[in-house]
Structure 1
Amino acid sequence: MSQAKVSDAAIAQIAGEIKFDILAGVPEGSNDLKRSQIARTFISDTITAPTKEMFTYATMASLGDDVYHEPSTEQTHIARITGKEAALFMVSGTMSNQIGLRTHLMQPPYTILCDNRAHIFKGAGFHSGAAVTPVAPKNGHHLTLDDVKNNVVYGPDVHFAPTEVIALENTLNGTIFPQDEIIAISEFAHSKGIKMHLDGARIWHVAAETGKSLKELLEPFDSVSVCFSKGLGAPIGSCLVGSKEYITRARRIRLLFGGGMRQTGILSGSVAYALTHNFPLLPRVHALSHKLEKSLEDIGVTILSPAETCMANSGTRAALPEPLFLGGSRVVLHIQTSESAVDDLISLIATIAEEKRKAGFVKPEVQVNGHQDVYVRRVAH
């Protein structure tokens, strides 16, 4: 049956209903205001905004389709610098880690062993139907080989689901996982046929702080997720890296999870700009974190989770002519954090501490955010 031709008037009416101008009603200069607020925001390093230069560069990238293996995306470059055979672009670190784990898990029953503070802990059961063995590190900083040996499941005992993957995180709460411990855990895991996965969202910070190459840092792992919006300032994206066979399977699972993307060139362009121009900014972030930590300690704040890269801990709120934006006890610095914002935060905490001292207030040691290794104690002198 032939269909009657739709009139131009009908098309025009539908077009009028669906058109949308996202710029309408946006105050002039609102993005400049947002950028100034970001410079004073300590909630997370994911809140960084693309610069005009990043946008300009990104718009010149390829228009190819990623589902159909667009060859000019950043994936080949990421595989090369991480020392792996292949890489796969994802929209987020959550997707990259969860698909990374799911790709390893071939046939249940299986268990994933991880730090009890790890980000992957919350999603693995839902996405992969996997049991999870969350381990609290005895040293309060990072898992050790002894922690792993005491909790891993392998061998002929049929009463427990065997450990299929050991998933580590580096950095975790801004702290660096010692490389020699990672190597020891990896050698043990592989001797038992257990896979090693890394949530390396902020691995860029580890490279910047230790001077170790990504290839060296990631060599002990079978698969790694690296993030481009945390630390590096890209608007979106992570990459999963591993062997060619592994990434081929991950690509299929990505599509099943609804993660297939089309013209990712503009995102890849932002990533390329971030890798080239923003990675060298990380040492400045670390220097500001160290400055903040030392100043807090001088004030009388005892921080038991050291500011090794981009995070410190202080739960402080108060009004300022130019407000500071905090997200609780965790203070995160990033490439767009201004030094004046750090100075204002230090001054603010010093003022509050002095007021509490004058009032004779002493706050005992408390646990922050349910993490046994992150404590803040304000002491009156």
Structure 2
Amino acid sequence: MTIPSVSIPYNPLTEVTADVGGKENVESLHRIARDFRSDTLTVPTDAQLLYSLRASRGDDVYGEDPSTVALERRVAKLTGKEAAMFAVSGTMTNQLAIRTHMKQPPHSIITDYRAHVHKMEAGGIAMFSQATTHQLFPSNGLYLTAEDIEPQIQLGTNIHIAPTKLICLENTLSGIIFPQEEVVKIGQLAKKHDIGLHLDGARIWNVAADEIEKRGLDAGNEDDRQTVLTDLLAPFDSASLCLSKGLGAPIGSIIIGTKEFIERAKWFRKAFGGGIRQCGGLAASADYALTNHFPRLAYTHHLAKRLEAGLRELGCGIAAPVDTNMVFFQPQQIGLSLDAVTARLAALPNPIIVGRERCVVHHQITPQAIEDFIACIAEMKKEKEANGQVENGEGRIGDKEQQKLDNYNQPKGKTTDAVLRKQAALGY
């Protein structure tokens, strides 16, 4: 069966020109259009940077930059929260939000064992909040449930264990959408025990784009975006929304919450050295991305699903559901090592760059890059078959990889901690 390719209604390769951006940045864009390592790698477009030139140039530490204030108010309204605060990165906004929730040790935070706040933020929770994390393993192999969390909540009756003060969820995690009905249940559980609920929503924009498409709404319509984002974020007391991943802002992330929460967070932002003076240009560039790049996210999902389908047709394993813009592929299923595939893709006349098994499709990836990726794997498989090393499209796969595939594609009952620990490559 031949799977049709996907087209997109814009050409990312035309959005940086030599006249405005210079030859070097044009060349950089052409490389990034075939770079699957992360959606943080996108190149600011000419239009985006020209828009930022007209931004205000006030001092945001004094709260006197209109462009920054406008972005914060826009995101607060979109998400149905009272207030928002701009900062330089998703790590900073997560850690600022967590620190703002924490009042006095001893205290602890419940997270998924793969969570970015626990695993990929340089130990910030311990460093800045003097808190410990209680990492949980989802029994379904995909996402935490209220049933996973409730028995692990510490209410302060056992002096040996720091009481739970916050639950942190992540949506998406490994590109997987956290079911909203489960988020609502966890929110109700948190409120029942007077525990805060924070979202690492670095890629919540992808969730919103998917939901808008499912509801038949318009991703370019502000009211439709507001409807969906408000629904998604209603259960949370706070959230960190990254602007420099899917949306393609050059820098920035934003915290949302109550006015009181955001005012407290500003104290910690100052203490962390995170205040930006004339940041209007950065805020305006993010604002442009929210308007112009957000509607592209659904296309990145379609491209990711095309990549998944092409790789599956060749016999590659897929280690996690492809709900949005990430594909975790396992070429070992057809007898190809990740190292060999990575090297071969990079050696193409027009190189393709991947970060091991994780492939992230961003708004500047071209459909041609997807097709070339699939074609390269097909060629490698054909060579293997010609050498008699692949039989019926089936290759040997290691026990660890097989366990990962089995648990993500066919979860059966309660997944053991030992098996889940072997999936630690996911969630980054």
Asked if these proteins are the same fold (TM beyond 0.5), I'd say: yes
Does residue 153 (structure 1) correspond to residue 154 (structure 2)? The answer is yes
1:349 maps to which residue? 377
The aligned counterpart of 2:423 is: 372
Distance 1:161 1:234 in 2: 38
Any conservation in 2 of the 1:117–1:371 contact (CA below 8 Å)? no
AA partner of residue 91 (structure 1)? V
CA distance in 2, matches of 1:326, 1:335: 16
| Separation in 2, partners of 1:129, 1:157 | 19
Contact kept in structure 2, 1:140 and 1:373, CA below 8 Å: no
1:71: Cα distance to partner?
5.4
Residues 303 and 374, structure 1, Cα contact 8 Å, conserved in 2: no
Matches within 5 A, 1:19-58: 29-58=23-52
Determine helix, strand or coil for the equivalent of 1:132.
Answer: strand
Contact residue 141 and residue 373 of structure 1 kept, 8 A: no
Answer whether contact 1:87 1:247 (CA < 8 A) is retained. Answer: yes
CA distance in 2, matches of 1:71, 1:45: 28
Distance 2:59 2:65 in 1: 9
**Aligned CA distance change for structure 1 residues 156 and 370 (closer, same or farther; 3 Å):** closer
Query: Bigger shift: 100-109 or 155-164?
Result: 155-164
How much does 1:352 deviate? Answer: 1.8
- Distance between the aligned counterparts of 1:42 and 1:307, measured in 2? 15
1:295 counterpart residue number = 310
The answer (yes or no) to whether the contact 1:225–1:241 under 8 Å persists in 2 is yes
Q: Does 1:102 align with 2:131?
A: no
Deviation per CA, 1:264-298: give whole Å up to 9, x if none.
Answer: 10001101100110000111100001111111111
Residue 63 (structure 1) aligned with residue 114 (structure 2): no
Alignment check: 8 A CA contact 2:156 2:162 kept: no
Q: Which of the residues 109, 120, 123 maps onto 1:112?
A: 109
- Cα RMSD after superposing both structures: 1.8
Partner of 1:213: helix, strand, or coil? Answer: helix
Superposed, 1:123-138 pairs within 5 Å as 123-138=124-139
- Aligned equivalent of 1:209: 210
After TM superposition, give the deviation of residue 371 of structure 1 in Å: 5.4
Deviation at residue 302 of structure 1 after TM alignment: 1.9
Query: What does residue 277 of structure 1 align with?
Result: 292
Partner-residue secondary structure (3-state), 2:423: strand
Number of equivalent positions = 349
Residues in 1 aligned to 2:278 and 2:259: alpha-carbon distance in whole angstroms = 22
1:336-374 residue CA offsets vs partner (Å, 9 max, x unmatched) = 001101101011111222333443252314448965287
Task: Specify every segment of 5 or more residues in structure 1 that has no aligned partner in the other structure, as ranges.
Answer: 1-26, 376-381
Residues 29-77 of structure 1, C-alpha deviations (whole Å, 9 max, x = no match): 1111101000000000000010000010001011111111125221111
Letter in 2 for 1:372: Q
The equivalent position to 1:360 in structure 2, one of 389, 398, 419, is: 389
- 2:13 is aligned to none
Query: Displacement of 1:203 after TM fit?
Result: 0.4
**SS state of the match for residue 102, structure 1?**
helix
**Percentage of matched positions with identical amino acids:** 45
Change (3 A) 1:222 1:271: same
Q: Which residue number in structure 2 is paired with residue 323 of structure 1?
A: 351
The structure-2 alpha-carbon separation of the partners of 1:373 and 1:297, relative to structure 1 and needing over 3 Å to count, comes to: farther
Q: Which one is further off, 354-363 or 180-189?
A: 354-363
Residues 65 and 279 of structure 2 are in contact (CA less than 8 Å); yes or no, is this contact kept in structure 1? Answer: no
8 A contact 2:206–2:324 mirrored in 1: yes
Matches within 5 A, 1:8-23: none
Q: For 2:149 and 2:89, how far apart are their aligned partners in 1?
A: 28
Q: Give structure 2 stretches of 5+ with no counterpart.
A: 1-20, 213-226, 330-337, 405-419
Decide which structure has greater helix share. 2
Structure with larger Rg: 1
TM-aligned CA deviation for residue 304 of structure 1? 3.1
Residues 311-336 of structure 1: per-residue CA shift (max 9 Å, x gap): 00234321211000111110000000
Measure, in 1, the Cα distance between the counterparts of 2:292 and 2:280: 18
User: Equivalences for 1:146-225 in 2 at 5 Å?
Assistant: 146-211=147-212, 213-225=228-240
Alignment deviations for residues 237-274 of structure 1 (CA, whole Å, 9 cap, x no partner): 00011111111110000000000110110001101100
Residues 88 and 371 (structure 1 numbering): CA distance in 2 closer, same or farther, change over 3 Å? farther
Distance in 2 of aligned mates of 1:242 and 1:269:
21
Deviates more, 1:279-288 or 1:124-133: 124-133
Match of 2:78 among 75, 78, 81: 81
Name the CA distance, whole Å, in 2 between partners of 1:363 and 1:273: 48
Once residues 186 and 424 of structure 2 are traced to their aligned partners in structure 1, the CA distance between those partners, rounded to angstroms, is 21
Residue by residue over 1:92-146, the C-alpha shift from the partner in whole angstroms, topping out at 9 and shown as x without a partner, is: 0000001110110000000000000000003312221211001111111100111
Aligned counterparts of 1:288 and 1:242: Cα–Cα separation in 2: 33
The DSSP-based 3-state class of the residue aligned with 2:62 is coil
Q: Distance in 1 between matches of 2:22 and 2:97?
A: 43
Instruction: Name the aligned partner's letter for residue 70 of structure 1.
Output: E
Decide which moves more: 68-77 or 354-363. 354-363
Code of the residue aligned with 1:287 in structure 2: it is: H
AA aligned to 1:329 is E
More strand by share: 1
Q: Is 1:262 equivalent to 2:290 in the alignment?
A: no
- TM-score normalised by L of structure 1: 0.88
